[in-house]
């Protein structure tokens, strides 16, 4: 596949998806806020799990 063809398809799809000036609708903005909060919470949970695993490994090795 030619790189230019793929670029054209992407450009057409972007124009089709973005109404007018490309700004987000109110529902899209609310979803973005929700997803950012969810992402932050999941990162925090992942960090807690990593720290817990490190502690468990340290204790299991008798250090």
pLDDT tens track for 5-46: 888 888 888 877 776 666 778 998 999 999 999 999 999 999
**Whether the predicted pLDDT of 52 surpasses 70:** yes
Distance from chain centroid for Cα 43: 11
- For the chain, which residues make up each domain, given as ranges? 36-63
- CA distance readout (Å), 19 to 13, 15, 24, 25, 52: 12, 8, 9, 9, 46
- So what's the pLDDT on residue 10? 87
Interval 54-61 mean pLDDT: 91
CA atoms within a 13 Å half-sphere pointing along the CA-CB vector of 8: 5
């Amino acid at each position: 596949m030619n790189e230019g063809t793929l670029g054209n398809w992407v450009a057409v799809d972007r124009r089709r998806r973005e109404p007018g000036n490309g700004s987000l609708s109110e529902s899209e903005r609310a979803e973005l806020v929700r997803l950012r909060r969810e992402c932050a919470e999941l990162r925090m949970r992942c960090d807690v799990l990593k720290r817990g695993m490190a502690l468990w490994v340290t204790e299991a090795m008798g250090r």
